Amino acid sequence: MSVVIIRQDGKIEEWKLALQAAAPEVDFYSYLQDHPKDRIEAAMVWKHPQGIFKEYSSLRYIASFGAGVDFLLQDPEIPSDIKITRVVDPVLASDMSEYVIAALFSFLKNLTRYRSDKFKGIWNPAPYLRISDLTVGIMGLGALGSCLAKDLYRIGFKVVGWSRSEKNIDFMECFSGDKQRAEFLSKTNALVCLLPLTPETAHILNKELFRQLPRGAYIINVARGGHLVDEDLIDMMDRGHLAGACLDVYHQEPLPEMHPFWRHPKILMTPHVASVSDVQAVVPQLLENYYRFKKGEALINEVSTLRGY
Ligand code: NDP
Ligand code: OXD
């Protein structure tokens, strides 16, 4: 069997070398090189060029190089019988926790504000918050959200969580479904979005939701840009209802130069780097699925195309 690697971020060679070294008997091709397209049965992919899968008539499964699969499920040209897998990895989860913890401390201690004051030569001490002042609300208690909840609890944060199905986690209060969302939000001072992007969760971070948070709440969106209504965030920060936001993901990436987020003083921004799949950590599970596929066994970390994640 031959595998094609498709990604447009200049990282194909790094992944190809690691995969080839770990499985010398398999033929791995970059989609940019000449390759026998009719023999390709598996594709390992991160944000593909639209329409590319039509070229692979023998394709049987697609592995996302990341945790998210929204870019695959949004592609109407992928036949419904193609299996799709994603990354579930403890390194990815702990990297995400570390990022969110950094963002929370930056909020508690006004670091975004002091950084911008520094460039203006302003000396302006402001009151700060403590861990005990915050309840962190996590939307999405899956592989990443549940790891974050544990890490925050260990540090001493109060944590609440919201998911689609009911959860029972001993150290935190859990809410589920649309009916319990308002109660979850009313208890949350720092909201972390770790939901998959699906038709149900698109634009979920909007004015109506922000109004249900206590005044002065902080938003951390590390899931997908499509969860957020950008103008609503700006409006609610400018009115003083929200204290600020840390954003890692955007509707369009890279974020267009003229987008108001770039210059907004209450927004801390990073370029989709909260948690990046680590080659050494992830190669074994990509190969595990390759061997399972060869043996006709069920794949691990397969997503439900019906559920959308
Ligand atoms: P999981 O699929 O493991 O978890 C998803 C969670 O969201 C589950 O708890 C699920 O509920 C919940 N959920 C899904 N739909 C709804 C809904 N309609 N209402 C309420 N809750 C819902 O995903 P991961 O934790 O692995 O990843 C989450 C997302 O993080 C990824 O999809 C990706 O977009 C993003 N990500 C971002 C990165 C970055 O660098 N910025 C890096 C890696 C991932 P239930 O438990 O009931 O199924
Ligand atoms: C992912 C991501 O989904 O990096 O893994 O966003």
CA 223 to ligand 1 centroid distance, Å = 7
Which residues does 119 contact at the CB level (< 8 Å), separation at least 6? none
- Give the integer Cα–Cα distance in Å for 46 and 6: 6
Q: Where are the alpha helices (DSSP H) in the chain?
A: 12-22, 70-73, 90-108, 111-120, 143-155, 181-186, 207-211, 230-238, 279-295
Asked if pLDDT for residue 146 goes beyond 90, the answer is: yes
Confidence of residue 125 (pLDDT cuts 50, 70, 90): very high
- Give the integer Cα–Cα distance in Å for 292 and 48: 24
CA 65 to ligand 2 centroid distance, Å = 8
Quote the pLDDT of residue 244: 98
Q: Which residues pair with 186 in a beta bridge?
A: none
Q: Is 138 left (phi over 0), alpha (psi -120 to 50) or beta?
A: beta
Q: Are 282 and 294 in contact (CB under 8 A)?
A: no
Quote the pLDDT of residue 66: 98
- Give the integer Cα–Cα distance in Å for 142 and 5: 27
Give backbone dihedrals phi and psi of 31, rounded to 5 degrees, phi first.
Answer: -65, -10
- Which class for 276: exposed (0-12), middle (13-18), buried (19 or more C-beta within 10 A)? middle
Does 195 contact ligand 2 (Cβ within 6 A)?
no
Does 67 contact ligand 2 (Cβ within 6 A)?
yes
Does 226 contact ligand 2 (Cβ within 6 A)?
no
Does 309 contact ligand 1 (Cβ within 6 A)?
yes
Quote the pLDDT of residue 7: 98
Asked if pLDDT for residue 1 goes beyond 90, the answer is: no
Is 224 marked active-site?
Answer: yes
Asked if pLDDT for residue 89 goes beyond 80, the answer is: yes
Choosing from 181, 224, 227, 264, which is the catalytic residue? 224
CA 144 to ligand 1 centroid distance, Å = 7
Ligand 1, residues 73, 88, 91, 163: which to mutate, most atoms within 8 A of Cβ? 163
| Helix orientation angle between 12-22 and 279-295, rounded to the nearest 10 degrees | 60
Ligand lying closest to the C-alpha of residue 270: 1
CA 276 to ligand 2 centroid distance, Å = 6
pLDDT > 70 fraction of the chain, expressed in percent and rounded: 100
CA distances (Å), origin 124, targets 103, 112, 117: 21, 13, 8
The token pair at 22 is: 């770990």
Ligand 2, residues 195, 270, 275: which to mutate, most atoms within 8 A of Cβ? 275
pTM: 0.98
Confidence of residue 285 (pLDDT cuts 50, 70, 90): very high
Is 113 marked active-site?
Answer: no
Q: Whose CA is nearest to atom 5 of ligand 2?
A: 66
Q: Whose CA is nearest to atom 30 of ligand 1?
A: 223
* Ligand 1: nearest atom to the Cα of 200: 18
Q: Whose CA is nearest to atom 2 of ligand 2?
A: 66
What tens digit of pLDDT does each residue of 156-172 get? 999 999 999 999 999 99
Asked if pLDDT for residue 22 goes beyond 90, the answer is: yes
pLDDT > 90 fraction of the chain, expressed in percent and rounded: 100
- Which class for 100: exposed (0-12), middle (13-18), buried (19 or more C-beta within 10 A)? buried
What tens digit of pLDDT does each residue of 174-215 get? 999 999 999 999 999 999 999 999 999 999 999 999 999 999
Confidence of residue 243 (pLDDT cuts 50, 70, 90): very high
Instruction: Supply angle C-alpha 102, 108, 112, rounded to 5.
Output: 70
Quote the pLDDT of residue 275: 98
Average pLDDT, the chain: 97
